[in-house]
Amino acid sequence: MERNNKLIIAFDGTHFHGWQKQAGVRTVQDEIEKVARRVVGRPVSVMGASRTDAGVHACGQVAHMITPDSIPVENLRRAIGHRLPQDIALVHAEQAPFDFHASRAALSKLYRYRIHNAEQRPVTGLGLGRAWHVWFPLDLERMRAGAAELVGRHDFAAFASQGSPRATTVRTVRRIGIRAVYEQVLIDVEGDGFLYNQVRNMVGTLYEVGRGHWPPEKVRAILASRQRANAGPTAPPHGLCLQWVRYPAPRGAADAA
């Protein structure tokens, strides 16, 4: 007998070449699959909800994997979690329906981008490697005005880097929240899915608005142009973190409530 396991995974992406398994480089998926194979005694495929890029972090990546049901879920979590390298944590594991697919079933995802907006480097607050250091002041009201142009269902071709095949460049951005927490500017982007480097390219564009190089209304023109060359730079990967992935409520949950 087999069981489908839903996993919640956190990792520091600094020394990973992204999530997805690739020959000759270290990836999060490959590290987890190697450990899971040793624990269950057979090859295991761990399918993630999001294919994070090299250097990007996660505190709420979701994955699923099929294993024999001879090992209780909690024992499986401990056995795998204790054997993972120090930069990966198996936060939670639970049984899921066999038709649950971490990527296809996802309703929305939230990425958070951190900008350390201060003259001093983020090392003073132990934030090195977790935030993009921008030493000159950013105007958050201008950035919020520009971000408002990106909310909704649009063709985001202007914010998609080359390198990942896609059937369409149309995506839905549900919300973009921008706030300051002491010296950090937090940019939360929730959407139904994202193109390659989309969030980092959006942040790079809002950065140009926030520093005063572009007016907020230029974001609308960039979006309409569908040309990547018109948008801002790709923000560095180390400031980005996958916060969570949302799924439909389990069958029967609404009735129980």
11-20: b or e for each residue (b if 16 or more CB lie within 10 Å)?
Answer: bbbeebbbbe
pLDDT above 70 (res 124): no
Question: What's the domain count of the chain?
Answer: 2
Q: Which domain holds residue 188?
A: 108-245
Alpha-carbon torsion angle 246, 8, 51, 140, nearest 10: 60
Closest by CA position to 178, among listed 165, 189, 187: 187
For 176-212, write each residue's pLDDT tens digit: 999 999 999 999 999 999 999 999 999 999 999 999 9
Identify the pLDDT of residue 257: 44
Q: Which residue has the tokens 């969570």?
A: 244
129-144: b or e for each residue (b if 16 or more CB lie within 10 Å)?
Answer: ebbbbbeeebebebbb
Q: Which region among 11-25, 31-45, 122-136, 141-155 has the lowest average model confidence (pLDDT)?
A: 122-136
pLDDT above 60 (res 66): yes
Give a three-class secondary structure readout of 204-238. Answer: HHHHHHHCCCCCCCHHHHHHHHCCHHHCCCCCCHH
Please state the rounded mean pLDDT for residues 218-231: 98
Name beta bridge partners: 185: 115, 180
Please state the rounded mean pLDDT for residues 199-227: 98
Q: Is residue 101 part of a domain?
A: no
Identify the pLDDT of residue 127: 66
Percent over 70 (pLDDT), the chain: 95
Q: What is the CATH number of the domain that holds 24?
A: 3.30.70.580
Please state the rounded mean pLDDT for residues 23-51: 97
Cα–Cα dist 190/109, whole Å? 6
pTM: 0.94
Q: Which amino acid is at 221?
A: A
Q: Is residue 174 part of a domain?
A: yes
Average pLDDT of the chain is 94
pLDDT above 80 (res 251): no
Residues 233 and 144 occupy one common structural domain: yes
Answer with the one of 49, 70, 96 that is the final residue of a domain.
96
Q: Which are the catalytic amino acids?
A: 53
Answer with the one of 68, 96, 124 that is the final residue of a domain.
96
Identify the pLDDT of residue 166: 79
